[in-house]
Structure 1
Amino acid sequence: MNLEGRIDYLKFYQKHIQKGKISGENLVGLCPFHEDTKPSFGANIKTGVYNCLACGEKGNAITFLAKLYRIDNKEAYRLLLQEEGLYEENHQGRKDANNHRNRFINTTDNKESNHSTRKPSDSEGSKHNNQKNNIQDTKTPEYMTTKATTKKEVPKYIVEDYCKEKRLPEDFIRSLGIRDGKTGITIPYKDEAGKILSNRQRYHRDSPTRFSWARGSKINLYGLWQIEKIKSIGRVILVEGESDCHTLWHHGIEEILGVPGATTFHGDWVEMLEGLDVYIHHEGDMGGDTFFNKISKTLKERNFKARIYKIQCSSLGVKDPSDLHIKDPNTFKENWQRVMAEAEEIFLINLQEEEENLIPNAPVKLRQPTGWRITEGGVEMINAKTRLPYLVCRTPILISRRIKALGMEEEKVEIAFFRDKKWHFVREQRSTIFQARTIIKLADVGVTVTSENAKFLVRFLENLEAENFDIIETLQSVNQLGWHGENFLPGREGELVLDMEHGERRWVEAYSKRGELKDWIKMMKPLRQNTIFRFILASSFAAPLLKLLNHRIFFVHNWGDSRGGKTAALKAALSVWGNPEELMTSFNATNVGLERLASFFNDLPLGIDERQVAGGKQEYIETLVYMLSMGYSKVRGTKTGGLENQKSWRSIVLTTGEEPLTTMGSQTGVHTRALEIHGSPFEREEEARSMHNFITMNYGVTGPFFIEKLMEDMKPHELQDRHKEIQETLMGINENHKKIGSHVSSVAVVILADELMNKWLFLEKENISIAMGNEILSNLEDMMHTDIVERAYEFIQGWLISNIEQFRGNPRRESYGVMEDNRFYVFPQILQEALDKQGYSYKKIIQGLGDRGYIDITYEKSGKKRQTVVKKIEGKACRMVSFDLSGIEDLEETPPFKAVTL
């Protein structure tokens, strides 16, 4: 067949190109092969050759159809003849097609294109195929299988095969106009006058595509050519698909119409059913629910007046009429009468509008938005004219929840999507989800969204939310653990959910549960005989008490030789709340990183292991202590010019190391904030090894239990009163030792926690909590030793005596000053160097020494106070720092140490 002059290329391309306009000899419009916003596609209306200036696609009418429908060139040539009315279904037509296609095709690419986004509509066959093959990331387009699939993978399906499958006479089926196609059978849909509206293809059950529609099809009810006969009967039975229609018609039951898909029933079809009693067949499964609910909802929306019934074959042990016939054709009519007799009348006025389970095992039930369909195969957009589905996104995706930040206006959307045979969840800002430019971010977590389909996916999610705005759950979210009003995370979450950035999910997942409470108690109880272990463990329970007591943050630092079990004890303490392997961090971290962790843990303990990894960075350690003890983050700016939300926390910081946190030169504030405990928390090394193994299988069960008991049995004022009583007891026991008030208060908090643990967990008869706390307190520094000025003065005294030769005028030694009797006159710069080496602030120490009378001070004529005196050395006057050490002679010498045998 010579095609030259026989094809109207203008008419041909106008059917496929949007916004087409004539420009000379070309039709210019939007390219169908990429996301085209400005017309870049041009087709010559005389030769049929096309070219896209944007994406580079080019070819002729045959390659155009091949790329558009993802078919081979042979099939595209045949389709071109069909569209132009030039194809004849006979041997000569096939011969013409084969003879002329190669002459007509140039060297354009014959491979499968990935531009098409079409997908077959739902049916009983496609549902069966999805159940059989689960969800695939790629599916064959609705129009036909690829060349490779047709020849190598999918058997040809003919009318004879269909009749054998359904046990129906072939002549009867062919009388309905059903005929053999290339790879499947063609089922014509006709209107009331018997004119063909569209053709639907049915393929072999092993085909990845069970059904497809011919180009230009307009979906409608199947069996409309019998509508007048149906009206004369006065009732209509609606079934899903064509095969049930064939079965019932074969048995002389004519009042049947088929709905091509569980969700395709359209409101415009209701008018044809006016005056008829409607019987809706329910297949007894989830798909049947969708089919029944869709029709019922549509009838209700269109204010349908006639009577409605629901019928089912499930009481007879089969799914649908076709299966009932296959089971026993001879008793079909009798059984069908039973089905009709058991019809249940449905009253639309009482019909509750229920959400649909759009996808089997979906985490949320939602209503299907108008113009869209979501299945296991992805998200489809329904063409308003043809009512055919177009695949928009191959990933099934739903809106599961709206997440609103507690006390703020900020809102996120939680998306659920199905990938790799399981549901995944991700939360993003609304501004990310509902913009085509930013929704592509979801591609990073597995959603098949690209720049090509982004705007369609945004439109779908927008419609999905609008359709289900009243039923999508809205939850309050927080981004910190611990107390939030009357709620506490973990353990007493209430209606709150934890919302963290994707990169911080590991910390959220660490607060999980494993093992049994009784096993945890059994393991920990005997180890509490060790005072250090007991105190560290109680400190973990004490962390949530700080807010209730309005107590400040403090450190509990266990230090000593390696292999003492310090890390094992820290893990035991963190196992109260979650997986210690994930919760514990180290000193090998930035201040910003530790600040964010403290903010997230909030009212729960922060565990930092291995102080020694910080090496000699004492300034870093002290800065860290001050930073974490403040309880709030630095004020930081954002990239957009605003300020970040300032974070806060109130917790106990549990640390370990081979060295103390403080040194002789540490500021007083560091000493007062840290309870530094020296020694091993285990009596034997094997206990520590056993603890490492135990907590990998037992964690996260005790803390939530403790919080529940705390909320049920205690009031804040009761805790505050008991804490005050414990402090007074400790002060009474240590009245001769001038213990630091902050240390006493902090130890009292841990004692209170230990008492509650005894009451609810360990059930000890004897309360030894105060004895434990006092033992810890007695080994902490007293006020004198933590006063930085006193410690500096003690250092200076030792430094002066140890360097006494530098004050005697020895010409062989560097001079540090002069000594007269017990008074030392020191060059200020020499003293400053000595203090700097020890980490003391010279200015601060000199000021403090002067205020306490440890050095001589002078006043200038102007009244200005000076911490130095004028001293002449070899006739030259200079300013020096004057120390009077005569009082040292009054100190009693400590007697020699004598070993005592116990």
Structure 2
Amino acid sequence: MTEENDNEKGLTFRDEILGKYHKILFDPEMDPKDLNEELADILIMHAEIRDILKKKPNKWKVEDFKKAAEILGKYFSDWEINKVLEAYAQEAWKNLDESLKSEIKEKYYSREEQSSEYDFTIDFDIHPFRISKTGIEKYYKYDRKDGQEVEGWEMVTCTPILIHSIGECVDDEAYMYQIKYRTVIGQEFSKWVTPEVLLTSSMKELVNLGLQFVDADQKNLKYYFKQLLGYAYQIPTEFTARTNGWKKENSIFITGSYAHMAQGRKEILALTEEIASAYEIKGNKKEWIENLTPLLEYDLIRLKCYATVAAMLIRFIGVKSFIVHNYYESSGLKSVSMQLASSLVGNPLELIKDADSTKVGIEKTLEYNTDTPIYFDETSNNEKFREAIYMIGNEQGKGRGNKEGGIDKAGKWKTVVQTTGEQPLTKANSTNTGQQIRVLEIFEGIPRLDSDYIETVKDTLENNYGLFLDEIVQTIFKRKDKLKQVYKNLTMFFDKSNTVFADRSKTYFVALAVGGFILEEIFEKNGIPTKDPHKVCNKYYQRVVIEDRTIPYYLRALDTTYSWHLRNKKFFEYSKELDPEEIFTYTRGPIELFGWITKDAIYYDPDKLHDYLVSKGFNFERVIQDWKNNNVLEPTMMKTDTGELRYKSWKKNTMINGQRVKGVKIPFTRLQEVLEIRDGEIYDIKNSDEMKIEEIHVSLIEACSKYLAENQKFKNVSYSPEDVADMFIRSEDRTELLMYGRDKIVKAFRTCKNRK
């Protein structure tokens, strides 16, 4: 069965476990029960034994047998343990020394009943029931025919069971109950069950757990559990989770089996295997620091560490999900550097996924791991991985049918994905723009290092991980309300973007710098030499974005043209149909137009467009030809004698405000499709007078200089920097710069006014 089919059928975690661990032979006519079903319940609670049973039958070590017997011995009798070992490790068990077998059996098999961990008492009144170690009883009282009153207690079940805690799922507010119970042979267990197991006819499932009652007792037991739940407010509450990430209005952060809150961390029940064991904490922080600090001197590794932290906080800074792809030849320590970055928060072996997965498998990984870092190693092994790039950046999967006949909601996520490979993800000719703007491609490797040191690094990563998770999450908790401002402040350190592509990629690098801002604070507290995160990220921003020339020619030209338009919107005339009140038309008086805007297209003046593109180093004739071939511009067509439409000219005639104009027509729909521009970023007549085309971000100094150039009188000494700043702040089209605060704006104007 394929992974797609598994997910489309909406399999539960238990279904997944049964599918993976189903080796014990079962004959319904001979065997009293199916041990695969019993084992599944144990595996759900114990990730450690899941890992042991995954091993090949001949690869089990003595420690594996001891640990397996220790866990299974809490739930299974002797013959049941033997059945499990024979099914999963027959060869290794057969070859095990007899003295070791005896030691394991003596220690874990046939154990006498230990002193009860639970006394099965409660502090509230559940009349007419009472519970003790001996079972659950119900009070009775009636009058006999002779008038004598009879009262006493009748046994409902001799196997006591109570609700030990209530689990609240932070994903969908569904509830589960943790029951504590004693079986017919005196073993005591705990298990999470759904409410229907205690309150409906599904109660018969309890019999399979070793409790003793008959159908006639179910009515009393349902009433008993109802009475217990009447005191739900006195029963401890625990969290359960199906996915990682921020929950409960960002007051709880889930990583695997842990719930992080501002007050600290507590263990929870992870309901899916996907998240259960990845965020383990193991080893010694001192050893991690001593052995791995030399690698942190490499900016590439530093950047990957920043990406690990950035995944946990981009929700608070308004940045879309993106991919950091490190490609290089087979050497270069790509995988090792990824392991180091992931070891900050968890177990690299569990966190890093093989990129050779189906699109549905990738989607499920994203869904389960929202707000946490995601790693895919060796994308070169999966030529179709790039098909998932758009989905990753789109932050939403597909709705699928479930086994009940309904449709499960599409999964959603917010994250930073890190990938490695020997080839780039988005440089192929077939790669579309939507993929390119979602990936930061970094071609770099770590220089060859001493082989003994590399072995030390690998050993350190294998035995020391997850040691910074608590500090990272707690620092984010402390800073999360100010992260948006940190993001805006760090933006100042990055050169202005000249294109829409660069502007979007810039947001990703600023997000990485915010992750670095958090991580460097933690490094400093732990005695690790620090770096300036904005310098590290700026280095790659310059290399990957500003200096990149791999974007197709026609796309770079269109991106440059659109950005030119955004910076010079006052030089475009709007049609009266689009702008009847002339709210956006600034072209009054003698002014040289760059073009015209209608409700469905931009018409660029051919000469102005030619001069601008040539000034930017483009071949204008090639641009027009490429735009025509890629259906970017809408040409003038003519009918032939046979009625066919044929190309006539790349210029298009139209009427604008009663005047006939000829221009290069680019429909808004094509602009949106080709450049992946969202509706909120492009002019739309339906949004009335609230619509404004966003101007590209510029630095504060440049904005102040431009403002003084446009308002020459303010350069006079009669206007103080404070006066000019106040007028600047009140100007409607400067609101995006107010994040710097009045003091910095005043200082910027003082600098600009002092310039010769």
In the alignment, the residues of structure 1 paired with residue 333 and residue 112 of structure 2 have an alpha-carbon distance, to the nearest angstrom, of 63
More helix by share: 2
2:434 pairs, out of 669, 675, 679, with 669
Q: CA deviation at 1:652?
A: 0.4
**Alignment partner, residue 487 of structure 1:** 252
| Structure 2 letter corresponding to 1:667 | N
Cα deviations by residue, 1:287-340 (Å, 9 ceiling, x for unpaired)? 9xxxxxxxxxxxxxxxxxxxxxxxxxxxxxxxxxxxxxxxxxxxxxxxxxxxxx
State the shift of 1:745 in Å.
1.4
Question: CA–CA distance in 2 between the matches of 1:645 and 1:851?
Answer: 36
Identity %: 18
Contact 1:558 1:677 in 2 (8 A): yes
* 8 Å CA contact 2:380, 2:422 repeated in 1: yes
Q: Which residue of 535, 548, 551 corresponds with 2:303?
A: 535
Shift of 1:434: 2.2
State the SS of the aligned residue for 2:404: coil
What's the secondary structure of 2:400's corresponding residue?
A: coil
Question: Partner of 1:492: helix, strand, or coil?
Answer: strand
How many residue pairs get aligned? The number is 457
Aligned 8 A contact 2:196 2:202 in 1: no
1:352-394 deviation digits (Å, cap 9, x = unpaired): xxxxxxx534699566855766566x74556958968758465
Q: How does 1:250-649 map to 2 (within 5 A)?
A: 359-361=116-118, 379-381=135-137, 392=157, 397-406=161-170, 410-417=174-181, 424-437=189-202, 439-440=204-205, 443=208, 447-448=209-210, 453=214, 456=217, 459-460=220-221, 462-467=223-228, 469-470=230-231, 471-475=234-238, 477-484=240-247, 485-490=250-255, 492-493=260-261, 498=268, 500-501=270-271, 504-505=272-273, 507-614=275-382, 616-617=383-384, 621-649=385-413
Give the Cα–Cα distance (whole angstroms) in 1 for the partners of residues 553 and 120 of structure 2.
Answer: 65
The superposition leaves residues 64-109 of structure 1 with CA deviations (integer Å, 9 ceiling, x where unpaired) of: xxxxxxxxxxxxxxxxxxxxxxxxxxxxxxxxxxxxxxxxxxxxxx
CA RMSD of aligned residues (A): 4.6
Q: How does 1:847-886 map to 2 (within 5 A)?
A: 849=630, 851=632, 858-860=637-639
Distance 1:363 1:693 in 2: 46
> How far does the alpha carbon of each residue in 1:381-411 deviate from its partner, in whole angstroms, 9 at most, with x for none?
56958968758465x5331222334485633
One of 446, 449, 474 as aligned partner of 1:684: 449
Identify the residue that residue 467 of structure 2 maps to in structure 1.
Answer: 701
What letter corresponds to residue 456 of structure 1 in structure 2?
D
The TM-score, its normalising length taken from structure 2, stands at 0.52
Query: In 2 relative to 1, CA 407–751 (structure 1 residues): closer, same or farther, beyond 3 Å?
Result: closer
- Match of residue 485 from structure 2: 721
Distance 1:673 1:399, change over 3 A: same
Larger Rg belongs to: 1
Q: Give the whole-Å Cα distance in 1 for the aligned partners of 2:458 and 2:430.
A: 36
Alignment partner of 2:418 out of 654, 666, 683? 654
CA contact (8 A) 1:755 1:767 kept: no
SS in 2 for 1:552: coil
For 2:640 and 2:335, the matched residues in 1 are separated by 61
Cα distance change, pair 861–400 in 1 and its aligned pair in 2 (3 A): farther
Corresponding residue of 1:742? 504
Which stretch of structure 1 is more off in the superposition, 588-597 or 652-661? 588-597
1:744-783 map, 5 Å: 744-762=506-524, 767-780=531-544
Is the contact made by 1:404 and 1:477 (CA closer than 8 Å) also made in structure 2? yes
Residues 762-799 of structure 1: CA distance to partner in whole angstroms, max 9, x if unpaired? Answer: 356764323321232233255974544637999xxxxx
Query: Counterpart of 2:495 in structure 1: which amino acid?
Result: M
The unaligned stretches of length 5 or more in structure 2 are: 1-72, 79-110, 141-149, 559-624, 650-756
Letter in 2 for 1:756: I
* DSSP-derived class of the 1:567 partner: helix
Q: How does 1:51-200 map to 2 (within 5 A)?
A: none
Deviations 1:462-500 (A, max 9, x none): 414514632222445443322222222246236987554
More relative contact order, 1 or 2 (CA 8 Å, 6+ apart): 2
- Specify every segment of 5 or more residues in structure 1 that has no aligned partner in the other structure, as ranges: 1-132, 139-207, 211-285, 288-358, 795-843, 870-902
Structure 1 residues 465, 767: CA separation in 2 closer, same or farther (over 3 Å shift)? same
2:199–2:225 contact (8 Å) kept in structure 1: no
1:433–1:439: 8 Å Cα contact kept in structure 2? no
Which residue identity lines up with residue 860 of structure 1 in the other structure? K
Q: Distance in 2 between matches of 1:573 and 1:418?
A: 45
> Per the alignment, in what secondary structure is the counterpart of residue 603 of structure 1?
coil
Match of 1:649, as an amino acid?
Answer: W
What TM-score do you get using the length of structure 1 for normalisation? 0.44
Tell me if the contact between 1:564 and 1:685 (Cα under 8 Å) persists in the aligned partners. Answer: no
- Counterpart residue type for residue 392 of structure 2: L
Task: Please report how far the alpha carbon of residue 555 of structure 1 lies from its aligned counterpart in structure 2 after TM superposition.
Answer: 0.4
What SS does the corresponding residue of 1:510 show, helix, strand or coil?
A: coil
Shift of 1:605: 0.5
How many angstroms apart in 2 are the aligned matches of 1:589 and 1:135? Answer: 36
Q: In structure 2, the residue corresponding to 1:747 is in which secondary structure?
A: helix
Alpha-carbon contact 1:383-1:390 (below 8 Å) kept? no
Quote the Cα distance in structure 1 between the aligned partners of 2:186 and 2:372: 36
Q: Determine if contact 2:520/2:530 at 8 Å carries over to the other structure.
A: no
